[in-house]
A = this chain, B = another copy of it.
Amino acid sequence: MFTFTLTLDPALRIPMYEQLYTAIAGAIRGGALLHGEKLPSKRALCDQLGVSRATVETAYELLTAEGYVESRPRSGFYVSDYQLLPAWEGQPAEIAAGSSPVCSVTQNSPANAGLTDRGVPSPQQPAESPFSTSAVDVSAFPYTSWAKLYKEVVYNSPELLQRGEPRGEPALRQALSRLLSAYRGVRCTPEQIVVGAGIETLLEQLITLFGPDTVYGVEDPGYPAIRRSLESRGRSIRFVPLDGAGMDVEALAASGASVAYLTPSHQFPLGVTMPATRRSRLLRWAAEGERWIIEDDYDSEFRYGVRPIPSMQGMDRADRVIYVGTFSRSLAPAIRLAYMVLPPALLARWQRTFGRQQPTVSRYEQTVMARFLEEGYYGRYIRRVGNLYAHRRQTLLRELEKAPGLGVSGADGGIHFLLTCSKRTESELVSRAAAAGIGLRGLSEFCRDALPMPSTLVLGFGGLSTEQIPALIQALAQAWEIAPET
């Protein structure tokens, strides 16, 4: 493939074959085409340039005669070793001059040269913290099965290359509705399910559906990504405080918000599970008016020795809950596949607004995921990773118990929890850990107005390995000077 632009202008006085010759010869001299590279075939190039084959042929003949390229019959033209060519410094000036406008090598235009990755603001998250809350263990990912399914799907489903259903593949939505009904008590038909490339994509759609004047109530502390999405769309946000049972309903009602974004099954970042009574009160709040609850069930797959509480969506009798879930945490962050369950009324709105757009997820990967679910791969994988996490979590908690003055909460499920150390302030905890080379995030980073618990950190264990845990915890204990004598 050429990395430079070829433009022929028949209006010029220079014959086109000569323009072409000059451009390619210049590219070879300039190093844009290296020894051994294949030129486009005569037909490909004449099609691309919109000229006849003879034009290209004449140019290639010239190049061959000059020794720039070699013809390998019935195979193609290849750039010959320029080093062995006679020196070209003495080229006539007019040819060299003619070459520059025709063949512009556009590797790096000067205007853009200064704008690299470092020139723009990048996420401030510490590079690779072992306790990152977004890390996920993918070591057990069933590569073989996934690739095998993908291959089968590609081979056997040529129709998947054509346009798909906007909401997502019927087979996947069918599988999802079964999964959600069985494991999360979600009550829905496949019709109500919408698939999208990540929760952010789905949230974008919801924001559009709700219109510009909707006021959103979000958890404080809560998910920064949600706030960012709402802010970038210019929406009004109310930061609603939490208590030990989750979002404060009175505060929510007083806030004037009409859409509440919740993580009831394992609140992020506090980790509390919302009890049924609070859920009922929130549902009642929603049922009282044109109000909606977005239930983000981002990490319900992993529970440790506690009974799961069914989703709020399943308790809802007023059709005010939008259930949202994702495979990014249960399978792998790179799997951009999320889903939401829309109440009928919203579904109709969705159809009006997005019912003609193509889905944002590859039909191939949707179908692979459908089979991954239907054929039990997913269930087996979740159990396996769940055991990994359970073991890791147990090791972690046991090690943390050894150090005095540490408290753990929110560890009933998911892959993060809160760690409190009353002996130091939060910023001390963070900075001392950083000095020891361990990136940590304080709870206050997730708070807007409220700071419910002092000296608290948010620790993820999705990216840890069991072996490194004792050393890590000991390092932390030492950094915080709370280690027991060894």
Contacts and interface: CB of A to CB of B under 8 A. Distances in A.
Interface of A: 1-10, 12, 14, 23, 26-27, 29-32, 40, 43-44, 47-51, 89-91, 93-94, 96-97, 102-103, 105-109, 111-113, 115-117, 119-123, 134, 136, 138, 141, 143-144, 146-147, 150-151, 154-155, 158-166, 170-171, 173-174, 177-179, 181-183, 185-192, 197-198, 200-201, 204, 208, 211-212, 225, 228, 232-234, 303, 305-308, 310, 314, 319, 328, 332-336, 344-345, 347-348, 351-365, 373-374, 376, 379, 383, 386
A29 B179 contact: no
Contacts of A336: 197, 358-362
A228 to B, nearest CB: 7
A176 to B, nearest CB: 11
B120 A351 contact: yes
Contacts of A173: 30
A105 B345 CA distance: 10
Nearest to A138: B161
Contacts of A12: 345, 348
A228 B14 CA distance: 36
Given A319-B111, A358-B200, A362-B362, A383 B103 contact: no
A49 B334 contact: no
A209 to B, nearest CB: 9
Nearest to A311: B5
A28 to B, nearest CB: 10
A89 B232 contact: no
Contact of A121 (B121, B352, B365, B379): B352
B197 A1 contact: no
A290 B90 CA distance: 36
Contacts of A144: 155
B333 A162 contact: yes
Contact of A94 (B6, B90, B356): B356
Given A96-B356, A328-B358, A355-B97, A191 B26 contact: yes
A173 to B, nearest CB: 6
A161 B93 contact: no
Contacts of A90: 159, 162-163
11 contacts: A7-B319, A50-B303, A105-B347, A106-B348, A106-B351, A111-B319, A115-B344, A161-B334, A161-B335, A162-B333, A212-B234
Contacts of A357: 93, 198, 200, 225
Nearest to A328: B358
Given A103-B355, A106-B352, A360-B201, A4 B181 contact: yes
Contacts of A307: 8, 10, 49-51
A187 B5 contact: yes
Contacts of A211: 234
A94 to B, nearest CB: 7
Contacts of A358: 93, 198, 200, 328, 333, 336
B5 A185 contact: yes
Given A228-B356, A335-B362, A3 B198 contact: no
A111 B347 CA distance: 13
A37 to B, nearest CB: 11
Contacts of A94: 356
B362 A310 contact: no
A115 B334 contact: no
Contacts of A154: 143, 146-147, 150
Contact of A351 (B102, B138, B187): B102
Contacts of A225: 356-357
B164 A334 contact: yes
A355 B138 contact: no
